[in-house]
Amino acid sequence: MDDQTDQTRKPRADALRNRERVLEAAKAVFNAGGPEASLEAVAKRAGVGIGTLYRHFPTREDLFEAVYRREVEQLSELAEQLKTTKDPVDALRRWLRSGVEFVATKKGMVAALALAVQSGSELHAFSFERLTTAIGSLLHRAVAAGEMRADISPEDLLRAFFGMCYMHDQPGWQSSVLRMLDVFVDGLRVQPTAGAKARVAKPAKPAAKRKR
Amino acid sequence: MDDQTDQTRKPRADALRNRERVLEAAKAVFNAGGPEASLEAVAKRAGVGIGTLYRHFPTREDLFEAVYRREVEQLSELAEQLKTTKDPVDALRRWLRSGVEFVATKKGMVAALALAVQSGSELHAFSFERLTTAIGSLLHRAVAAGEMRADISPEDLLRAFFGMCYMHDQPGWQSSVLRMLDVFVDGLRVQPTAGAKARVAKPAKPAAKRKR
DNA sequence: CGAAGATACGGAGGCACCCTCCGTTTAACA
DNA sequence: TGTTAAACGGAGGGTGCCTCCGTATCTTCG
């Protein structure tokens, strides 16, 4: 699978090797020491000079991106699979739960993304877009089926989910977030009784016919 | 030796003055440059040496604490006032909304608290305890009145609230969080109808005594 | 008031990290 | 095997953290 139809020189072997080494080292170091860990430590662990690290990944965020892009994609693909689930509400619920588990496993990711959010980096743009799409497709199904209220955007939901997971370094966070997500999904359901009571929020989305 | 708890010498005037100056400078610098701003910048702005700053506030968190303790207290007191509101659910909702506004105003606070959480500092312990109590008293009223489910702890709620607000640097975060909070409170309400028919989702909850 | 302590001040200095720049090395290609 | 562009590595200048200690200032008491 090498269509190097380009007339460009083949990339040097040592460059590729070093890039890979740095990535591996970064994954290890970030997982151990958080996303603020020293880049010089990463370089040392990778057995390359600091200059090499910076040539491959000019900014810290570039490194994050290379490390975590794949993980975000996994989470996004899971949504795709869940779209085949019968009950759309259940699908959304499952995705959110899987998200929690995901965060629990790859602890580095959330912190990195949180950093990325603040710096407005490329990783943020990519992840946000990708996950919004994922969550959006699940949400939309549920709304279309008349099972969920239509005035909540995927961005809203993602933000809430993400925020909750951000507290992931307190003891017992995981079960806490799971409980909260249940409350959340309950709140998202179309509620005949609650509808009678004064609902303050106004629908931001015009479409979506609620049957029932 | 001598007991230093009761018969202490009057604190020196310059010490008090400098302490105050540092606090004021810190507030300004943190608000402008975020909670990671340089402490040496704070010292410079306060017109004191870096050594003086560190003597008064040995760690960054100590400084945060002195700056933000009052703000946390305000938020906590608001809960006290709201306890006189008739509708307990409404009281909780209002508190959460006020919290959002609060965060919008004192942008430094959330970031500082988020940092404090990660470092397990004193500020975190204090704030968490205080806000948990505040939110707990509101929550408890609603539960006692039979208006809200009883399987959610104040800690859960605080975590969720806080997490949502943590995304406070994206455009439109405020209205988004407000929407989410409404969903949330809806989910917290005791739902007679939803309990009967919904809940189709496979209850794969390992540990959660749902009263329903 | 003036001296004697006690207390606080300030910033130099050692350390870690960030990031850039450029002389040296090395892989790819002819 | 020689040429050459690409990649390497780490020295170095900058910033921030925090400690330490000689000096300055305040309080107290004779």
Is there a contact between A180 and B156 if contact means CB atoms under 8 Å apart?
A: yes
pLDDT of res. B140: 96
Q: Is B189 helix (H, G, I), strand (E, B) or coil?
A: strand
Is there a contact between A180 and B200 if contact means CB atoms under 8 Å apart?
A: no
Nearest of B6, B46, B2 to residue B23 by alpha carbon = B46
Note the pLDDT tens digit of each residue in A178-196.
Answer: 999 999 999 999 865 444 3
User: Which positions in strand C are less than 7 Å from the protein's CB atoms?
Assistant: 6-13, 16-22, 26-29
Q: Any chain A CB within 8 A of the CB of B114?
A: yes
Enter the tokens of residue B167.
């995304």
**If you count residue pairs, one on A and one on B, with CB atoms under 8 Å apart, how many are there?**
127
C-alpha span between B10 and A211 (Å, rounded): 74
A125 to chain B: closest CA residue: B170
DSSP string, A166-203: HTTTSTTHHHHHHHHHHHHHHHHB--HHHHHSPP-SPP
Neighbours of A49 (CB within 10 A): 13
Note the pLDDT tens digit of each residue in B108-140.
Answer: 888 888 888 777 778 888 899 999 999 999 999
What average pLDDT score do residues A28-32 get?
93
C-alpha span between B44 and B50 (Å, rounded): 8
Percent of chain A with pLDDT over 70: 86
Q: How far is CA B79 from CA A17, B74, B76, B152, in A?
A: 58, 9, 5, 18
Neighbours of B26 (CB within 10 A): 27
Task: Reply yes or no on whether the pLDDT at A210 is more than 50.
Answer: no
C-alpha span between A14 and A117 (Å, rounded): 33
- For chain B, which residues score pLDDT lower than 70? 1-7, 191-212
Q: Any chain B CB within 8 A of the CB of A116?
A: no
Note the pLDDT tens digit of each residue in A95-136.
Answer: 999 999 988 888 788 888 887 877 777 888 889 999 999 999
Enter the tokens of residue A80.
């795709």
Q: Which residues pair with B21 in a beta bridge?
A: none
Is there a contact between A176 and B182 if contact means CB atoms under 8 Å apart?
A: no
**Looking at beta carbons, which residues of chain B come within 8 Å of A152?**
179-180, 183
Is there a contact between B180 and A156 if contact means CB atoms under 8 Å apart?
A: yes
Q: Any chain A CB within 8 A of the CB of B151?
A: yes
Q: Domains of chain B by range and CATH? A: 14-58 (1.10.10.60), 67-189 (1.10.357.10)
Which of A113, A119, A179 should be substituted to probe chain B, the one whose Cβ sees the most B Cβ atoms within 10 Å?
A: A179
- Residue B201 is nearest to which of A93, A157, A179, comparing CB atoms? A93
pLDDT of res. B7: 59
Which residues are within 8 A (CB) of A117 and not within 5 positions of it... i.e. 6 or more apart?
A: A124, A128, B167, B169, B170
Q: Any chain B CB within 8 A of the CB of A195?
A: no
